[in-house]
């Protein structure tokens, strides 16, 4: 880093990449030297044999060349491991060593050619004494193995040769796109080499040229080799992990919310931008417009003392708006079922396994593949023998639980240009017509994602549209545009509407008064790219169906203008799972992530391959072990940073794009399936002989401001892609809905939850809730299937005010951030209270005041009045919150008294999120309680519990339960662990 320059050309490797291939070559040369020495000792020809000296010259020359290469390659390994990635001056002699090694390899070619001549072009040697000596077989093995090794070296040179050395030239990036399209055999679709494309100004343009310009705009600011990019990604992830730990410790010191959250990779998210703060504390200083553009302010002090950079740190907790209720999650799981089904056969096989998936597609649903093919023949008066189409159709029907007559229309990959695969289905139970659009699954989809220029939505949203009119063409957005959107996704939405308009299926079944589904509601559902397309398509369809509902699962973060997305909250709901990166990815956050990667590489002090080695072994570095302090950067890093900043500042396209698309965000009202930081290792069995190990992760569902997701930035993590998979999201939604119906605030999901969708999808065909089986992998016990939910509400339920007591299964925002999570019991027929005459209630007894369980601290009885009733005045405190309560009741009347019980549990674990794990007498675990809080006594008890638990003491806690609420009220030490 930067790329190595040899023979006046920039190659695909950096100087610190050389030790890896050099070490491999050195090992081979060492082994070969040993073999050649053995040759000389035991196999070389006698002196009296005519021509034997030729063999000694050939093999000796090879031995000398190999010894020379061995010495040079050892020097290349030692020299290449000096300094960090940008400390190139410490490796300045490396090109000379490489030149000498190339000379030694030419010598090897020459001597091996001479040996080949001896084997095939010279008669066998004869000895005067008659001694038999025939080195032919040994020489033949030697020659061909050496040629094979030389071929490997030549292939290595070809692979590292850079066909497009100018990383800053858009033409070079265009040539790379053409080369990649040729390599991937993309002869059809958008990726076709030389394909013409109409840009936003209406001018024809080659697609490769457009992509080349976009890549150059975003990636041409610094010289990085492929391994440098991988290293920068890994270092940025390590810095984010370090910063999570630091922020958590500072929150704990200041008693701020979130101080108990997990800060490691599998826990609570931390701000991505915070990863680049100086060693003294978290990054809190904002940069302004230039930082948002991806540039870096060096500060007022640009002396050799070094630059100080700090990126703006967003806080995911600042955008939380309360817990999501069970009905919303259940409806989301129902809609996600269709989005999952839109992926067709490939994802179906991925989720269920190739063998079982193929068996179900071919023979499931009572041989639905054959029946569906015949049903299609009745509709089209001809037999459809397109195997891939029929397999995709059957996988879609099985995944969505659709009968043949309910799948109204379907479109798959490549049938119509620019149209994303989608299907239209009728759901009889919920009286809904569903349009489900597939996400990214092909190279064409990736290209569409990359066409991120902002396009105008003003004509798209203008009133006065009729169904027969074509949608408006795409135009480039300007600073005067009111609303804008991602150009590639908007083009897909436009083409999809034209296809729907052309086939008349949606109009005939829903909008036509005589249609089968007239009067039903319209639901749009999509995942990833399909979610963005569904939202933009919904914006246009609202001209004709104003009350439609859109579910956008894992939508692109850089989708549309922020104000438009916020105004869509009444009809569109977005879902973000864990640390997935697509909903956090926008033009602004991509610039932030690029900055983080570059600055992390600038600060790295260790050699690249040593960093890779330790990271693969799972080592967790401290910041001072791996990184220079910001004011200690080497001179080469300072120069690279200055050049990087100047390159970004010179690019006017980035500024113009950010001026329009800087506020882009996810659509509608967003909820986040948020990891709480509690994980445990588990094993999931799939098949009689396949035992796979994974992790169980605990999630909670919270409403969140969409801009808070963008402000977090891209969270570089091992989960950023895994959390984005649609099968995992579907399993998580189902498990979350099931947990909230059981009045649990969190759900435990197995990493391989997506592999357990088979029971939900196959046996639960048509189950809109998807709740018959535990597809989430959380290990919960089975329960009878609840009555199916009727999806009547088009908009998400309103959030309850924070000052109200939460309803069963919900939680107020206030309680989520500072108090225990309490839910009412759902046991059928159980009474929470019993009546008792007021005059018999004494001090220290229990009573219900204002629907809260309280303990009486004082009671006084007045004299009998003129109406013949004495009055009892109660002063009590809430047994959970400690709030003082008062009530007045006639002594002869009944008051409600709560059933109060105390149960002892063994304490197993205290999570960093405040939740505790308890074990019952029967050996079952209980994981839905937090540490006590709300009163001074409760806080002291929590502190004491943590101290005793950290000291290794065995604890038993007493849990008080009343009126469906539970809280730890006492703890005792029973032994030393």
The answer to whether residue 335 scores a pLDDT higher than 90 is yes
CATH topology of domain 900-973: OB fold (Dihydrolipoamide Acetyltransferase, E2P) (2.40.50)
Of the candidates 421, 156, 15, the one whose C-alpha atom is nearest the C-alpha of residue 2 is 15
Calpha distance 867→870 (Å, rounded):
9
* Residue 275 pLDDT: 40
Calpha distance 177→767 (Å, rounded):
45
Three-class DSSP labels, 812-849: CHHHHHHCCCCCCCCCCCCCCEEEEEHHHCCCCCEEEE
Spatial contact of 106 and 61, defined as CB atoms under 8 Å apart: no
952: helix, coil or strand? Answer: coil
Calpha distance 732→722 (Å, rounded):
12
For residue 974, what is the enclosing H or E element? Answer: strand 965-976
Residues 517, 518, 524: CA angle, nearest 5 degrees = 65
* Residue 844 pLDDT: 86
What number does CATH give the domain 320-364+387-586+663-679+696-755?
Answer: 3.40.50.1820
Calpha distance 173→372 (Å, rounded):
47
How do residues 528-579 score in pLDDT, each as one tens digit?
999 999 999 999 999 999 999 999 999 998 899 888 998 899 999 999 998 8
The answer to whether residue 381 scores a pLDDT higher than 90 is no
Task: Taking residues 629-640, report their average pLDDT.
Answer: 85
Residue 489: pLDDT band with limits 50, 70, 90: very high
The answer to whether residue 299 scores a pLDDT higher than 80 is no
Calpha distance 200→347 (Å, rounded):
33
Spatial contact of 482 and 475, defined as CB atoms under 8 Å apart: no
Three-class DSSP labels, 884-932: EEEEEEECCCEEEEECEEEEEEEEEEECCCCEEEEECCCCCEEEEEECC
Q: Distance from CA of residue 748 to its chain's centroid? A: 18
Structure tokens at 83: 């300094």
Other Cβ atoms less than 10 A from the Cβ of 514: the count is 7
Task: Taking residues 823-849, report their average pLDDT.
Answer: 72
- Maximum distance among all alpha carbons in the chain? 146
The answer to whether residue 864 scores a pLDDT higher than 50 is yes
Q: Select the more confidently predicted residue: 868 or 509.
A: 509
Residue 950: pLDDT band with limits 50, 70, 90: confident
- Mean pLDDT: which of 121-125, 238-242, 851-855 is highest? 851-855
Spatial contact of 771 and 730, defined as CB atoms under 8 Å apart: no
Calpha distance 230→616 (Å, rounded):
13
How do residues 193-218 score in pLDDT, each as one tens digit?
444 555 565 566 666 676 777 777 77
In the chain, what percentage of residues exceed pLDDT 90? 18
Residues 391, 393, 399: CA angle, nearest 5 degrees = 100
Spatial contact of 190 and 419, defined as CB atoms under 8 Å apart: no
Q: How far apart are the first and last CA of the chain?
A: 51
Beta strands 407-411 and 422-427 are antiparallel
H runs (alpha helix) in 293-353: 326-341, 345-352
Q: How far is residue 801 from each of residues 146, 410, 811, measured CA to CA in Å? A: 78, 43, 10
* Residue 949 pLDDT: 86
Task: Taking residues 464-488, report their average pLDDT.
Answer: 88
* Tally: H helices and E strands in the chain: 29, 29
The answer to whether residue 122 scores a pLDDT higher than 50 is yes
* Residue 550 pLDDT: 95
* Residue 573 pLDDT: 94
Q: Is the peptide bond before 404 cis (omega within 30 degrees of 0)?
A: no
The answer to whether residue 969 scores a pLDDT higher than 70 is yes
Tell me which of 172-186, 253-267, 493-507, 929-943 is least confident.
Answer: 253-267
Q: Select the more confidently predicted residue: 358 or 753.
A: 358
Query: DSSP labels for 713-740?
Result: ----STHHHHTT-HHHHHHHHHHHHHHH
Query: DSSP labels for 801-812?
Result: PTTSPPPTT---
Query: DSSP labels for 494-552?
Result: HHHHHHHHHH-HHIIIIISTTSTTTT-EEEEEEETHHHHHHHHHHHHHTTT-TT-EEEE
Calpha distance 399→731 (Å, rounded):
13
Calpha distance 348→398 (Å, rounded):
9
Of the candidates 631, 584, 570, the one whose C-alpha atom is nearest the C-alpha of residue 794 is 570
Domain 834-898 has CATH 2.30.30.30: yes
Phi, then psi, of 220 in degrees rounded to 5: -100, 20
Q: How far is residue 177 from each of residues 17, 451, 630, measured CA to CA in Å? A: 25, 14, 37
Calpha distance 108→72 (Å, rounded):
14
Same fold? 320-364+387-586+663-679+696-755, 900-973: no
Kindly list the domain boundaries of the chain, sorted by start residue: 3-160, 320-364+387-586+663-679+696-755, 834-898, 900-973
Beta strands 846-849 and 432-437 are unpaired
Spatial contact of 435 and 422, defined as CB atoms under 8 Å apart: yes
Residues ≥6 apart with Cβ < 8 Å to 806? 323, 800, 812, 815, 822, 823
Calpha distance 885→862 (Å, rounded):
19
Of the candidates 480, 604, 701, 523, the one whose C-alpha atom is nearest the C-alpha of residue 16 is 604
Of the candidates 571, 568, 588, 538, the one whose C-alpha atom is nearest the C-alpha of residue 667 is 568
Tell me which of 136-150, 570-584, 854-868, 900-914 is least confident.
Answer: 854-868
Phi-psi region of 83 (alpha: psi -120 to 50; beta: other; left: phi over 0): left
Calpha distance 829→22 (Å, rounded):
76
């Amino acid at each position: 880093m930067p790329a190595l320059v040899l023979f006046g050309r920039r190659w695909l490797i950096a100087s610190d990449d050389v030790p890896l291939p050099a070490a491999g070559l050195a090992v081979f040369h060492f082994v070969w030297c040993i073999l050649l020495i053995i040759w000389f000792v035991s196999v070389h020809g006698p002196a009296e044999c005519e021509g034997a000296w030729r063999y000694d010259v050939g093999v000796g020359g090879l031995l000398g060349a190999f010894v020379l290469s061995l010495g040079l390659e050892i020097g290349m390994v030692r020299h290449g491991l000096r300094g960090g990635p940008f400390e190139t001056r410490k490796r300045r002699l490396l090109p000379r060593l490489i030149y000498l090694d190339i000379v030694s390899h030419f010598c090897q070619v020459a001597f091996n050619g001479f040996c080949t001549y001896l084997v095939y072009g010279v008669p066998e040697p004869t000895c005067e004494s008659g001694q038999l000596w025939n080195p032919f077989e040994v020489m033949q093995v030697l020659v061909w193995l050496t040629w094979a090794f030389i071929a490997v070296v030549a292939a290595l040179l070809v692979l590292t040769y850079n066909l497009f050395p100018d990383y800053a030239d858009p033409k070079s990036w265009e040539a790379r796109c053409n080369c990649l399209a040729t390599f991937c055999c993309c002869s059809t679709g958008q990726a076709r080499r030389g394909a013409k494309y109409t840009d936003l100004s209406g001018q024809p343009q080659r697609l490769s040229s457009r992509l080349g310009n976009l890549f150059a705009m975003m990636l041409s600011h610094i010289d990085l080799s492929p391994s440098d990019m991988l290293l920068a990604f890994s270092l940025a992830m390590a810095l984010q992990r370090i910063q999570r730990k630091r922020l958590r410790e500072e929150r704990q010191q200041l008693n701020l919310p979130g101080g108990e959250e997990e800060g490691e990779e599998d826990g609570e998210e931390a701000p991505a931008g915070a990863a680049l703060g100086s060693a003294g504390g978290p990054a809190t200083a904002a940069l302004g417009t230039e930082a948002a553009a991806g540039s870096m302010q060096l500060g007022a002090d640009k002396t050799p003392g070094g630059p100080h950079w700090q990126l703006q740190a967003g806080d995911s907790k600042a955008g939380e708006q309360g817990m999501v209720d069970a009905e919303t999650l259940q409806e989301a799981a129902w809609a996600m079922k269709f989005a999952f089904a839109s992926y067709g056969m490939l994802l179906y096989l991925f989720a269920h396994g190739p063998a079982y998936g193929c068996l179900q597609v071919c023979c499931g649903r009572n041989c639905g593949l054959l029946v569906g093919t015949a049903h299609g023949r009745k509709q089209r008066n001809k037999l459809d023998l397109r195997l891939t189409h029929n397999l995709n159709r059957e996988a879609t029907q099985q995944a969505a639980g659709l009968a043949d007559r309910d799948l109204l229309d379907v479109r798959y990959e490549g049938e119509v240009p620019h149209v994303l695969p989608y299907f239209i289905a009728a759901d009889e139970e919920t009286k809904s017509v569903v349009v489900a659009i597939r996400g990214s699954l092909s190279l064409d989809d990736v290209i569409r994602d990359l066409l991120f220029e902002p396009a105008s939505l003003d004509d798209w949203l203008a009133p006065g549209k009729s169904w027969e009119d074509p949608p408006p063409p795409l135009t480039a957005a300007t600073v005067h545009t009111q609303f804008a959107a991602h150009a590639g996704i908007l083009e897909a939405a436009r083409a999809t509407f034209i296809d729907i308009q052309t086939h008349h299926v949606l109009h005939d079944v829903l909008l036509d008064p005589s249609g089968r589904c007239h009067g039903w509601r319209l639901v749009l559902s999509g995942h990833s790219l399909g979610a963005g397309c569904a939202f933009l398509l919904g914006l246009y369809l609202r001209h004709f169906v104003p009350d439609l509902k859109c579910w956008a699962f894992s939508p692109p973060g850089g989708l549309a203008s922020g104000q438009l997305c916020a105004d869509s909250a009444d009809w569109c709901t977005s879902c973000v799972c864990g640390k997935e990166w697509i909903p956090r990815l926008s033009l602004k956050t991509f610039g932030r992530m690029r900055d983080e990667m570059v600055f992390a590489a600038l600060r790295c002090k260790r050699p690249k391959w040593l960093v890779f080695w330790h990271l693969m072994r799972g080592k967790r570095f401290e910041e001072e072990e791996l990184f220079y302090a910001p004011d200690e950067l080497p001179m080469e890093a300072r120069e690279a940073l200055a050049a990087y900043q100047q390159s970004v500042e010179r690019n006017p396209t980035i500024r113009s794009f950010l001026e329009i698309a800087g506020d882009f965000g996810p659509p509608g009202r967003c909820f986040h399936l948020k990891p709480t930081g509690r994980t445990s290792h588990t094993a999931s069995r799939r098949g009689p002989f396949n035992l796979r190990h994974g992790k169980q992760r605990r999630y909670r569902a919270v409403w969140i401001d969409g801009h808070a997701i963008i402000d977090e930035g891209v969270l570089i993590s091992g989960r950023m892609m895994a959390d984005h998979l649609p099968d995992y999201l579907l399993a998580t939604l189902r498990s979350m809905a099931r947990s909230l119906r059981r009045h649990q605030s969190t759900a435990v999901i197995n990493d391989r939850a997506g592999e357990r969708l088979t029971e939900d999808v196959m046996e639960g065909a048509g189950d809109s809730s998807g709740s018959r089986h535990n597809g989430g992998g959380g290990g919960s016990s089975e329960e009878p299937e609840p009555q199916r939910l009727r999806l009547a509400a088009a908009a998400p339920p309103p959030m309850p005010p924070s000052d109200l007591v939460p309803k069963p299964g919900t939680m107020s925002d206030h309680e989520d951030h500072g108090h225990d999570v309490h839910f009412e019991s759902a046991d059928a027929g159980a009474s929470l209270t019993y009546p008792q005459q007021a005059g018999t209630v004494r001090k220290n007894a229990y009573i219900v005041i204002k629907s809260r369980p309280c303990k009486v601290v004082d009671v006084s009885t007045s004299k009998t009045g003129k109406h013949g009733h004495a009055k009892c005045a109660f002063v009590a405190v809430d047994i959970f919150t400690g709030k003082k309560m008062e009530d007045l009741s006639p002594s002869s009347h009944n008051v409600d008294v709560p059933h109060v019980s105390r149960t002892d549990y063994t304490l197993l674990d205290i999570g960093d999120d405040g939740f505790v794990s308890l074990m019952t007498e029967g050996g079952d675990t209980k994981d839905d309680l937090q540490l006590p809080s709300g009163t001074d006594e409760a806080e002291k008890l929590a502190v004491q519990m943590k101290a005793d638990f950290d000291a290794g003491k065995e604890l038993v806690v007493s849990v008080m339960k009343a009126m469906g609420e539970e809280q730890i009220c006492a703890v005792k030490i029973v032994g030393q662990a």
